[in-house]
A and B are shown apart, each in its own frame.
Chain A
């Protein structure tokens, strides 16, 4: 029980961050909630080996892995992901990084919703941008969470921002 409360003290302050990341990676409210629960149970199991440095990055790393498992499992089953707006292009969000993200973004030109733009970024770019701009994490933490080298984090971030800025400019924003 002592370990229980210690775990709560370490993990629960990061519940919003955990949910935000899961929600952006899966694109679905229900799935994000399932992923977060899964991840927290997993984190509780690993907790005895947690050494106390940067709990937020530790939790987010577990959440990220759980979210990828969910997204991959869904893709394998070929079930249709639940897009927030039920559009046919929901799969774009999971597009192969080699695919042309500009094309995907141009499709959203009429829809200036940033939410939609971000949701359509390739998952690697999206997670990097979410961790930097919404969670305000340092590069080294993003590298740890996403398992990518620092240089990759920087170039993904740059690509994501250029796509977003470009798309925002193309939309009829004031």
Chain B
């Protein structure tokens, strides 16, 4: 298979995959401006991605597999771990009481139950809607002290606003959104070229550690902290979204 007649094809693909740094990207842009083959190749890259995104091709581990795996890992241990069925998921995992102690480290274990599918869909829709040109932020500011007061009088609660620029997730603004029958705060962060949305609304429940989910190619992480329910939504890799949540939870 040829490179379709342009020696920059793989570089173009690297740009498409977000693998180029700013200088490489700029150098490529000069070439691309006058290259019809690059234009066609870019269409090919987008067509392949669109085709993959249209179909639900991701295969998830079944609860049965989780259970079988738990049993098998137990059997590999010399000492059978004691079970403490304090929560619904622990017996299913069968990995023993040690997990409870390691709960702090065990951040992303839980998978959001399918009953929340409608909410996941609504969150992703809101995120995608916001990505349309000019819709991302109603208040554009990298200053948390500008963004936070902007919500005053627009919501019946005061959302926590934090800037994570130092951690590589700069705040770029905020907006109002409407989810599950109520107005919510949406904070916009940036990571590389990827926008991250953080939707916030009040939740009287106890603090809950993050759960992750995936919907239509987007990653979502939900947690509860200080009386707020928080949802991070983005097309960044899950590792990076986990890092974002980790940093957000710990930021002052």
Contact = CB atoms under 8 A, between A and B. Distances in A.
Given A1-B79, A2-B98, A115 B73 contact: no
A1 B72 contact: no
From DSSP, what is the main secondary structure of chain A's interface residues? helix
Contact of A114 (B52, B62, B98, B214): B52
Nearest to B75: A41
A158 B13 contact: yes
Given A33-B68, A114-B52, A139-B14, A6 B57 contact: no
A154 interface: yes
B26 interface: no
A138 B72 CA distance: 31
B21 interface: no
B140 interface: no
A59 interface: no
B73 A164 contact: no
A35 B182 CA distance: 45
A157 B44 CA distance: 12
Contact of B1 (A16, A114, A139, A159): A159
Given A5-B95, A115-B55, A19 B77 contact: no
Nearest to A7: B73
B99 A5 contact: yes
A4 interface: yes
A6 B54 contact: no
The size bracket of the interface on A is 35 or more
B49 interface: yes
Interface stretch (A64-72, A87-95, A129-137): A129-137
The size bracket of the interface on B is 35 or more
B66 interface: yes
A15 interface: yes
Given A4-B95, A13-B109, A114-B57, A169 B49 contact: no
Interface in A1-58: 1-2, 4-9, 12-13, 15-16, 18-20, 23-24, 32-33, 36-37, 40-41, 44-45, 54, 56
A62 interface: no
A107 interface: no
A118 interface: yes
Interface stretch (B2-10, B124-132, B164-172, B195-203): B2-10
Nearest to B212: A13
Contact of B54 (A33, A114, A129): A114
Q: Among B48, B66, B77, which residue has the most Cβ atoms of chain A within 10 A?
A: B48
A133 B52 contact: yes
A165 B47 contact: yes
A161 interface: yes
A76 to B, nearest CB: 25
A16 B10 contact: no
Interface of A: 1-2, 4-9, 12-13, 15-16, 18-20, 23-24, 32-33, 36-37, 40-41, 44-45, 54, 56, 113-115, 118, 129, 132-139, 151, 154-155, 157-162, 164-166, 168-169, 173
18 contacts: A5-B101, A7-B73, A12-B106, A13-B108, A13-B212, A16-B61, A19-B61, A20-B59, A36-B65, A41-B72, A56-B239, A154-B10, A154-B14, A158-B1, A162-B1, A165-B47, A168-B47, A173-B51
